[in-house]
Structure 1
Amino acid sequence: MADDLSPEFCAVLRDAFERAGYDADGVLRLLGDSAHAALGRGEPEPARRAARDSGALGSLIRLFLLGDTLPEREVRAILPWPESVSTGVVRVDGDDVRAGLDVRPYGDDQGSWWVFADLDSDLLGGQVPADHVLGVGHASLSLARATIRRPVGSVLDLGTGCGVQALHASRHAQRITATDLSPRALSLARATFSINGLDVETRQGTWFEPMAGRRFDQVVCNPPFVVGPSRVDYTYRDSGLAGDDASALVVAALPEYLARGGVGQLLASWLHLPGRDWDERVTAWLPGGVDAWFVQRDVADPDLYVGTWLRDAGIDPRSPEGSARASAWLDWFAENKVAGVGFGFVTIRRTDSEPRIVCEDLRHAFDDPLGPEAAGWLDRIDWLRAHSSPDALLRAHLRVADSVVLEEVSASGDEGWEAVVRRLHRTDGPGWQHEIDELVRALLAGCSGALPLGDLLELLAAAHGVATDALVVAALPLVDELVRHGMLVPA
């Protein structure tokens, strides 16, 4: 009954939530850090104990976040009635009431929103339906953290689902458009926008079709990127395209919908095939006229991949249905010689300059969000482009970034301790690391901004008895990489 979630009902429901203190901060205060963290791990009992006998807020937590059954009189006292039943927000069975939709607070460092979505497989107690609308999941959180948050005029949220990316866009965009193939997803997204008082244009249609002829300053997309046979079991994850063709389609088509200098960011998956590097595969998807940064965050083997996505849909891999689906899926992987499935983020910028395309593995753990790093990467690409000639780069004054430290590992030798590993660490952002030799160590020691790079290389060549020209040829590619990774910065 998602179509019944009218703006009028959403306004009344918002009032009820505000009276109860049902927002991101209120939930955290009531539960406490430990129970809140346990709930995030899928361990509900500490939260249930904290929410018990805690008034209207405790009841809402138990109803929507824990999936508990409550007496009708308890729910009637805090939610608009009977509208909450007729809209499907709750379900009534005799004198018992359970959540019919996932309606939960979701916040960032600037405040709190509410998000409408469908109940997950745990709360449903089984397999999700084909038109299931995913809530605030790991993928949407990852994309939100990886998205650039600079002020822009217009944002397109392609495949909005329940509307999470559009909520974040409301912090920095003047105008937002959200599209989806699924009518149910758009209905729930409209409710999400309505209850939060946001004016978002919504369009229904396949891929970019509803946006023909339009361009945006920023495009964000969490597409149905699951890799496998060309079928659609669940609209939130399956595209109907085989393999990684869904990711390829978005990467190839997205630049056409960017304004000049506009940026697109998406989650994507790609196949790992024998005899071919993954970066060759993904860069072949790109049209001309774009800068692009592909960041690989994980690679899953087919067995793990299939089991993960079966459980995501609420299918027990041990059941007859799970076994049949897994067998067909693994047959497809075998027939197509798939060795693994890569997953990560793609940042694309439309440019009239010489394109810069970089693919990088970033599979280690780090805490900082990737969005500021993506913005910094684009800025650093611009700086490198302006210093693309060797003469321009050699005239530049550079310094080691404040967040960079040098780790040295020494081994005992005939003449005492000798350094065997020298490794640069950037202690913020994605935590880039670079192993360096003694010459690079000496060069970076001089990078304080006082002298241009060319003078430093001349001094270094003289001190170590090497040819300046040869040292320059060897050093410039490394300097380029250290600048891209934010380890060397303009002084």
Structure 2
Amino acid sequence: MGFADIWGVDAGSVPAAGLAAFRTDLAQAGYTVDGLEHLLRDEATGVDAGAALRRGSRVPAMRLLHDDRTPAALLARLFLLGDTLDERELDAALPRSGRAAASALGIVEPVAGGMRAAIDVRPYAFTDAVGEGAWWVASDLGELQLGDALPERHVLGVGGASATLAGQVLQQPVGSALDLGTGSGIQALHLGRLARHVVATDLSARALAFARFTLALNEVGNVELRAGSLFEPVAGERFDRIVSNPPFVITPRADGVPAYEYRDGGMTGDGIVEAVVRGAAAHLEPGGTAQLLGNWETIGGRPGLERVRGWAEDAGLEYWIVERELQDPAEYAETWIRDGGTKAGTAAFEDLEAAWLDDFAARGVTAIGFGYVLLRRPSGIHGTTGIHRLARAEAVHTSGNEALAAHFGAVLAAAERIAGLSDAELASLHLRVAPDVTEERHHLPGHDEPSSILLRQGGGFGRVVDAGTALAAFVGAADGELPAGVIADAIAELTGVDAAALRAELAPQLRELVFAGMLLVP
């Protein structure tokens, strides 16, 4: 039987025999993130073989591990390099579970000359609100191990997008959570640390098989797997938190264009992101939040950000939509064709790019955005009158920190704190400049007065605010000791302007700096 047959959601009982021993083999060998980092660094030559692997090159690691017979090195050869191990080597790599159990679990398969990995199993480490954590995550073998382009049914492991999303999910504990389109189960594992019960869904039976194996390998028992498309498996149910890394890559619906399951949702354009945004409303508890990654298209001159805003507003949801990147159609097509393993400059690459550009042109698409969507179902606390609503759609094309969970949580709490305050009430707050904010002044040669004053954020989104003299003076004095109104009046007196007018000028700017996380609210 194949791996999906053994571990599919509808398969029989989990083949527990050997799984605990395999887990122990991985742990005892030091097959961990830290262990591999040490193993793959060649101190004698200074070569970092781990970095080379991340660049797609096996050669340094193969040279380094060739004569190493330690269990960690053998496991790295087996899973990371796609190497074939003979019986003696496999027994040394898995001294407790052994060849028979590894075969029964679907982990290895026979080939000429020995056994090779049937799947990818690799360590993953992280830090969240609960503390430090580590798992082993199973997925399909990648291009490096296969030596070829990915098959369309490929199940991805921990990729850049999944790590980005995991790093920005709100960290407050909740009762129930939904991982929509779980893939190999990364988000479900993270949600399981913060929610009492998690439901994880996916249309791909193969993806669910990997998720089931990964959950069992890491002894996670509060995640329920369900098969089905989008919200169909949870019809009529609501959750405190929804997280989704949907297959958002926009792929032409044309013959000869691979439709990779891990990244293509089978819909035209950005339809999969629209479906998730619109569908979330019916499955969130009042006050519940949804977070997802997505691509969106600028069509017929209407910016993608405005289109996503419209989906959220139509669904009656509060929203914070952040566009982190904007690509033209050719750049977007080239990025994802390379991602599938097709080499640039070949006839196959050019045919695929032509198909992508034909599709975009036919539908009037002139740009594609990538970013983050945070949605919240209004509750009695947040209200629906407008002043209390979270309603922001913005392009933030800066090189900020991708681990945004703490930033999102702090900003939302601060925004909630000041949302219902009048300008007079805002003036009574003892605001304090965040410790990661710095000031940068630019002067024209021979001029004493600065031509521009920039406030730079070290964390969060790495925002840069072009501040006027008054705002810069306020931020410089905002140490939490004095109310905002008193600081504003002092600046007005020093600069000889009307105090009431300056307060009115500063109020919206201060609200923006609070939302940016650059001013902190007591």
Structure 1, unmatched stretches of 5+, are: none
TM-score (norm 2): 0.88
- In the TM superposition, what is the alpha-carbon distance from 1:446 to its structure 2 partner? 3.3
Is the Cα contact below 8 Å between 1:100 and 1:119 reproduced in 2? yes
Instruction: Write out per-residue CA displacement over residues 195-240 of structure 1, whole angstroms, 9 at most, x where no aligned residue.
Output: 0001120000010111112122211100010114347822211112
Match of 1:374 among 408, 411, 416: 408
Q: Give, as a single letter, the amino acid of the residue that structure 2 aligns with 1:373.
A: H
- In the TM superposition, what is the alpha-carbon distance from 1:431 to its structure 2 partner? 1.9
- In the TM superposition, what is the alpha-carbon distance from 1:165 to its structure 2 partner? 1.0
Q: Does 1:405 align with 2:438?
A: yes
Instruction: Give the structure 1 partner of residue 100 of structure 2.
Output: 82
Instruction: Give the structure 1 partner of residue 160 of structure 2.
Output: 138
Instruction: Give the structure 1 partner of residue 478 of structure 2.
Output: 447
Instruction: Give the structure 1 partner of residue 11 of structure 2.
Output: none
- In the TM superposition, what is the alpha-carbon distance from 1:461 to its structure 2 partner? 3.0
Instruction: Give the structure 2 partner of residue 92 of structure 1.
Output: 110
Q: Does 1:365 align with 2:408?
A: no
Percent identity, aligned pairs only, is: 40
Give the SS at the match of 2:237. coil
Is the Cα contact below 8 Å between 1:247 and 1:268 reproduced in 2? yes
Instruction: Give the structure 2 partner of residue 254 of structure 1.
Output: 280
Instruction: Write out per-residue CA displacement over residues 97-155 of structure 1, whole angstroms, 9 at most, x where no aligned residue.
Output: 22211111111142321111111133222232232111111111111112222222222
Instruction: Write out per-residue CA displacement over residues 38-89 of structure 1, whole angstroms, 9 at most, x where no aligned residue.
Output: 3223233333344331411100001101122222331134333234335442
Whole-Å Cα distance in 1 between the matches of residues 266 and 347 of structure 2?
24
Q: Give, as a single letter, the amino acid of the residue that structure 2 aligns with 1:32.
A: R
Q: Does 1:169 align with 2:153?
A: no
Aligned residues: 488
Instruction: Give the structure 2 partner of residue 41 of structure 1.
Output: 55
Match of 2:238 among 201, 206, 215: 215
Instruction: Write out per-residue CA displacement over residues 302-322 of structure 1, whole angstroms, 9 at most, x where no aligned residue.
Output: 112212212222233544544
Instruction: Write out per-residue CA displacement over residues 151-177 of structure 1, whole angstroms, 9 at most, x where no aligned residue.
Output: 222221110000111122233222221
RMSD over equivalenced CA pairs, Å: 2.2
Match of 2:424 among 391, 394, 397: 391
Match of 2:332 among 285, 305, 324: 305
Is the Cα contact below 8 Å between 1:302 and 1:333 reproduced in 2? yes
Match of 1:11 among 4, 17, 20: 20
- In the TM superposition, what is the alpha-carbon distance from 1:379 to its structure 2 partner? 0.9
- In the TM superposition, what is the alpha-carbon distance from 1:242 to its structure 2 partner? 0.9
Assess, with a 3 A threshold, how the Cα gap between structure 1 residues 121 and 31 changes in structure 2: closer, same or farther. closer
Give the SS at the match of 1:276. coil
Range with greater deviation from structure 2 (337-346 or 195-204): 337-346
Range with greater deviation from structure 2 (80-89 or 222-231): 80-89
Whole-Å Cα distance in 2 between the matches of residues 291 and 392 of structure 1?
24
Whole-Å Cα distance in 2 between the matches of residues 423 and 274 of structure 1?
35
Structure 2, unmatched stretches of 5+, are: 8-13, 43-47
Whole-Å Cα distance in 2 between the matches of residues 97 and 250 of structure 1?
42
Matches within 5 A, 1:120-135: 120-135=142-157
Q: Give, as a single letter, the amino acid of the residue that structure 2 aligns with 1:335.
A: A
Whole-Å Cα distance in 1 between the matches of residues 91 and 494 of structure 2?
82
Q: Give, as a single letter, the amino acid of the residue that structure 2 aligns with 1:64.
A: F
Assess, with a 3 A threshold, how the Cα gap between structure 1 residues 308 and 444 changes in structure 2: closer, same or farther. closer
Instruction: Give the structure 1 partner of residue 490 of structure 2.
Output: 459
- In the TM superposition, what is the alpha-carbon distance from 1:241 to its structure 2 partner? 1.3
TM-score (norm 1): 0.93
Instruction: Give the structure 2 partner of residue 203 of structure 1.
Output: 226
- In the TM superposition, what is the alpha-carbon distance from 1:7 to its structure 2 partner? 4.1
Whole-Å Cα distance in 2 between the matches of residues 119 and 277 of structure 1?
38
